[in-house]
Structure 1
């Protein structure tokens, strides 16, 4: 059994008069809706439907147009959402004025870093460059090279080496020599007791006596030097650049010196001091450039 309900309506805005009939099955399911209207309104609607085929296209046709597989259509929009054609990238365009993702280069095409500007840098793995160059930066490894050099220099500056002496008059019994090869400094300590008379060689290169022996160091003035140890007592490579002297602490007129030939000498400028007793007990220190 089919049941139905009917509704008659009139639309004031359109002047449309019609009736709607709804058909229901026995279980109450709406199986059909029938709208009854005037023939003129029905024809108007039918004509509009027929016109749709000529006015609009379905999804399949729209897809074919957009795909444009046969290249038969040319889309020539003046703007797209307000953007001009020049605002968009064209087909087969290039970006030669932009850097590629990996843009390392042997040239300075992409700009060099300078003291004022950020930019590309080239690493320099040496310490021999003698002028500033834009874009060159010192490799981190050279930091270690510098650190090692500084550490070595610091170690050398603090290092003193003892030198074995073997010169005239048993110089090694009285004298100790230490040198700092990095700074080219020499430190000499001379200690000797009983220095009274004739302790040094007074002979010249011809083996002739310069200061007749015995010669008193104290009690008489010396016109020349008395050689406690002759040339080479201090090895020539460690001899001072020029003679260095130091006064005896108990009598400033008595002077001990080391000359540029490595000889160790003594003289008494005014003859002060007594000839008696055990003589002088020397303890002298010298620090000089060699």
Structure 2
């Protein structure tokens, strides 16, 4: 079977977790390949997600590494056995892979939290607001790319509402005041956000300007909870790139950051009151 040219986020995560197992056992790729009776190149390809791994090979891999974490092994097996393609695959080749992986991470997590500083969470954006956000890219996107990215964002929004899961948005006050496309578009967006905040599975909390100390995260973050804690993922987004973090030390650090953000955020009622107040000024 030829190597995968473009492994998905979840396929890469399986490879990463297998590499972590090997390293935790203190085994080199050569040691593990001898234990499994396969070529060391195949071990490297499995860990890089260039080739797939069967459930049987997964369990042999775990046994050779003396991994006794059955919940993690079961969760990895579930990922391997899930051969379904996400709706976002229809857009592959039309928009950047990093944007596709936003949808994949949201869809495959059991719950997620966001911290945003510049614009509304993607899955809460109205059509006009999303088009205005993409419309500010420099150099400007060609019209067909602008329309494709906007349509993709609207499909992400619709998919989450078809198959909802717990989600919490921590929104810095600047987001509520920053205008993409003008006051009318922002006012419509704030009204939509207020509607979303009433959904039983969605929590919207605002971090106001007048807190004593800024919470510390200066980039937009997503914390996605996996089937088991070892499969949690942090997505760190900047204007230039998106980075996925899964080291235990990174996950622990970002959970602390989210705890600190939560400690200074307004409660849901106070957040709605502030959103209403800002909307009335537009």
Query: What is the TM-score with the length of structure 1 in the denominator?
Result: 0.20
Highest CA radius of gyration, 1 or 2?
1
TM-score by length of 2: 0.20
| Structure in which a larger fraction of residues adopt strand | 1
Higher relative contact order, structure no. (Cα contacts within 8 Å, ≥ 6 residues apart): 2
